[in-house]
């Protein structure tokens, strides 16, 4: 059985916590897209961790954690992340890396950084992890698959060829030092030794695992609205954030994905630029940011303050639909206990017309939120374990959101810890 856990919003919905929680019953956890550009925060018996590249199953010794072919694989980063867990007493996790995963090159990170500087005020709010240049090169067919590290001669020739292209950019567009092919080649030989113990024909491994009836979790990064096709293009990420891509980015048949769990946040937050219809500002935003998440809403990778907003039913319903959600998990509900009333964005007014459908970016930029206000519950709901024990106004908020999402809300998260969960 394959289950995907994915974000229905702009990312930072709390997928890490939900994956960590559900991982317990899984045999395999797979990252299928993205790279080390976003973080998952996990709080468990070992402490508080921000994972960037590793799958969230690394805290369980019975789980095989897989970096799928769809991931942007930063090899030194992977090793550092493994070491940082071991340094804090986590037993060495079982990790496999797809031989078809492509490698994040040092020049991708440089290119990302240079490009952000070149665009200055018009930048996309990149985390400078090299993601956009990485995926551009993958589809331009000048990327390097892990398997290519082990054929030295072919590798050397390709490094020289790719450096020619990159150096034109570095010299003439960015006016930066050139890449030295010999140095890059040596770096890649060191990558080969670092990654060698983990390399695996992942799709064959998963084919076998599926035939044995293993439980597999696909772990998404970011959320629906950051998808390059269905999100707020161009303020998106460069790999698909959708459950459907899980089949490709892991190497399994699409029909094997039976359960799609969309993680939906009880209010809105976003990092980076781009349209954000229900955004709030000033003291109102500061207060929500300060109380939000676990110790404030700041990016797990960059530490940047997140943009805050009220729950956006238009964006979240679309986010669930485009994921193909079979269920939704509503997270960080506990944070909202301080409010007298809770505005929910139930429609967008665009050019004088009200719509419930999430539009393309040009229209989105002109959208004005239409709010409906629900009464607050004015108390702390952390520690509550049964749905019926939640205050009535809190249940009303959950049920209002469920109706708007058009997807059953099967779990409500009311705290950052593993056990802060209410099953419905
Ligand atoms: P992810 O990338 O989707 O995994 O999300 P992040 O980990 O970046 O952000 C979620 C933040 O909210 C983390 O700091 C979590 O510890 C925290 N968190 C997750 N679920 C809850 C919850 O139900 N309540 C509270 N207060 N914090 C939560």
Structure-token pair, residue 123: 């930048």
Structural domain of 301: 264-423
Quick one: 209 and 90 in the same domain? yes
Q: The domain spanning residue 396 has which CATH number?
A: 3.90.170.10
Quick one: 291 and 341 in the same domain? yes
Quick one: 219 and 349 in the same domain? no
pLDDT in tens, 288-324: 999 998 888 987 667 789 999 999 999 999 999 999 9
> Which residues lie with the beta carbon below 6 Å from any ligand 1 atom?
7, 11-17, 38-41, 43, 293-294, 300, 331-332, 334-335, 413-416, 420
Quick one: 93 and 116 in the same domain? no
Protein residue with least CA distance to atom 16, ligand 1: 416
pLDDT in tens, 82-97: 999 999 999 999 999 9
Quote the pTM value: 0.95
Task: Return the closest-CA partner of residue 87 out of 47, 28, 54, 30.
Answer: 47
Quick one: 315 and 235 in the same domain? no
Position 39 scores a pLDDT of 74
- Mark which of 195, 210, 227 sits at the end of a domain: 195
Task: Compute the distance from residue 17 Cα to the ligand 1 centre, in Å.
Answer: 6
Q: The domain spanning residue 158 has which CATH number?
A: 1.10.300.10
Position 16 scores a pLDDT of 87
Catalytic one among 20, 40, 112, 312? 40
Nearest atom (ligand 1) to Cα of 48:
16
Task: Compute the distance from residue 332 Cα to the ligand 1 centre, in Å.
Answer: 7
Nearest atom (ligand 1) to Cα of 41:
7
Task: Compute the distance from residue 16 Cα to the ligand 1 centre, in Å.
Answer: 7
Nearest atom (ligand 1) to Cα of 421:
23
User: Which of 15, 262, 332 maximizes ligand 1 atoms within 8 Å of its Cβ, making it the mutation to test the pocket?
Assistant: 332
User: Which of 416, 421, 422 maximizes ligand 1 atoms within 8 Å of its Cβ, making it the mutation to test the pocket?
Assistant: 416
Quick one: 239 and 170 in the same domain? no
Quick one: 252 and 291 in the same domain? no
User: Which of 270, 293, 295, 301 maximizes ligand 1 atoms within 8 Å of its Cβ, making it the mutation to test the pocket?
Assistant: 293
Nearest atom (ligand 1) to Cα of 7:
3
3-state SS of the chain?
CEEEEEECCCCCCCHHHHHHHHHCCCCEEEECCCCCCCCEEEEECCEEEEECCCCCCCCCCCCEEEECCCCEECHHHHHHHHHHHHHCCCCCCEEEEECCCEECCHHHHHHHHHHHHHHHHHCCCCCCCCHHHHHHHHHCCCCCEHHHHHCHHHHHHHHHHHHHHHHHHHHHHCCCCCCCHHHHHHHHHHHHHHHHHHEECHHHHHHHHHHCCCCEEEEEEEEHHHCCCCCCCCCCCCCCCCHHHHHHHHCCCHHHEEEEEEEEECCEEECCCCCCCCEECHHHHHHHHHHCCCCCCECCCCCCECEEECEEHHHHHHHHHHHCCCEEEEECHHHHHHCCEEEEEEEEEECCEEECCCCCHHHHCCCEEEEEEEECCCCCCCCCCCHHHCCHHHHHHHHHHHHHHCCCEEEEECCCCCCCEEEC
Task: Compute the distance from residue 269 Cα to the ligand 1 centre, in Å.
Answer: 11
Quick one: 126 and 226 in the same domain? no
Task: Compute the distance from residue 345 Cα to the ligand 1 centre, in Å.
Answer: 22
Task: Compute the distance from residue 43 Cα to the ligand 1 centre, in Å.
Answer: 9
Quick one: 285 and 395 in the same domain? yes
Task: Compute the distance from residue 296 Cα to the ligand 1 centre, in Å.
Answer: 10
Angle, helices 75-87/181-195, rounded to nearest 10 degrees: 40
Protein residue with least CA distance to atom 10, ligand 1: 14
Quick one: 160 and 229 in the same domain? no
Position 214 scores a pLDDT of 98
- Mark which of 176, 195, 214 sits at the end of a domain: 195
Quick one: 228 and 109 in the same domain? no
Quick one: 278 and 368 in the same domain? yes
Protein residue with least CA distance to atom 8, ligand 1: 12
- Mark which of 261, 290, 307 sits at the end of a domain: 261
Position 41 scores a pLDDT of 79
Q: Is 12 designated active site?
A: yes
Which residues of the chain carry a pLDDT beneath 50?
Answer: none
How many separate domains does the chain show?
3
pLDDT in tens, 340-398: 999 999 999 999 999 999 999 999 999 999 999 999 999 999 999 999 999 999 999 99
Q: The domain spanning residue 31 has which CATH number?
A: 3.40.440.10
């Amino acid at each position: 059985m394959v289950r995907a856990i994915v974000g229905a919003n702009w990312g930072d919905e709390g997928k890490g916590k939900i994956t960590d929680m559900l991982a317990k019953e899984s045999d395999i956890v797979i990252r299928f897209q993205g790279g080390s550009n976003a973080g998952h925060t996990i709080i468990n018996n070992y402490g508080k961790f921000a994972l960037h590249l590793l799958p969230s199953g690394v805290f369980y010794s019975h789980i095989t954690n897989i970096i799928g072919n769809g991931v942007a694989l930063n090899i030194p980063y992977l090793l550092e992340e493994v070491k940082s867990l071991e340094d804090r007493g986590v037993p060495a996790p079982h990790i496999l890396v797809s031989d078809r995963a492509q490698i994040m090159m040092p020049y991708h990170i440089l290119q990302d950084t240079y490009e952000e500087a070149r665009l200055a005020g018009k930048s996309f709010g990149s985390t400078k992890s090299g993601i956009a240049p990485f995926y551009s090169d993958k589809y331009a067919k000048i990327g390097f698959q892990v398997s290519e590290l082990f054929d030295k001669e072919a590798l050397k020739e390709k490094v020289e060829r790719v450096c020619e292209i990159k150096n034109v950019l570095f010299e003439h567009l960015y006016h930066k030092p050139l890449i030295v092919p010999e140095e890059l080649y040596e770096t890649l030989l060191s990558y080969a030794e670092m990654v060698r113990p983990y390399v695996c024909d992942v799709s064959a491994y998963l084919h076998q695992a599926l035939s044995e009836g293993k439980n597999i979790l696909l772990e998404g990064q970011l959320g629906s609205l950051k998808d390059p096709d269905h999100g707020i293009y161009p303020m998106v990420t460069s790999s698909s954030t959708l459950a459907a891509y899980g089949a490709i980015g892991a190497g399994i048949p699409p029909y094997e994905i039976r359960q799609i769990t969309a993680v939906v946040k009880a209010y809105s937050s976003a990092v980076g630029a781009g349209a954000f219809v229900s955004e709030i500002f000033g003291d109102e935003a500061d207060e929500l940011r300060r109380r939000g998440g676990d110790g404030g809403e700041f990016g797990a990778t960059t530490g940047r303050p997140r943009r805050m907003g009220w729950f956006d039913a238009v964006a979240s319903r679309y986010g669930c639909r485009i994921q193909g959600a079979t269920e939704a998990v509503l997270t960080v509900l506990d944070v909202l206990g301080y409010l007298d009333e809770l505005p929910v964005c139930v429609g967008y007014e665009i050019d004088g017309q009200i719509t419930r459908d999430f539009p393309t970016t040009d229209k989105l930029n002109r959208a004005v939120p239409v709010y409906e206000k629900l009464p607050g519950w004015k108390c702390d709901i952390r520690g509550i374990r049964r749905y019926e024990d939640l205050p009535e106004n809190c249940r009303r908020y959950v049920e209002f959101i469920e109706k708007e999402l058009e997807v059953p809300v099967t779990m409500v998260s009311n705290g950052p810890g593993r056990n802060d969960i209410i099953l419905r």
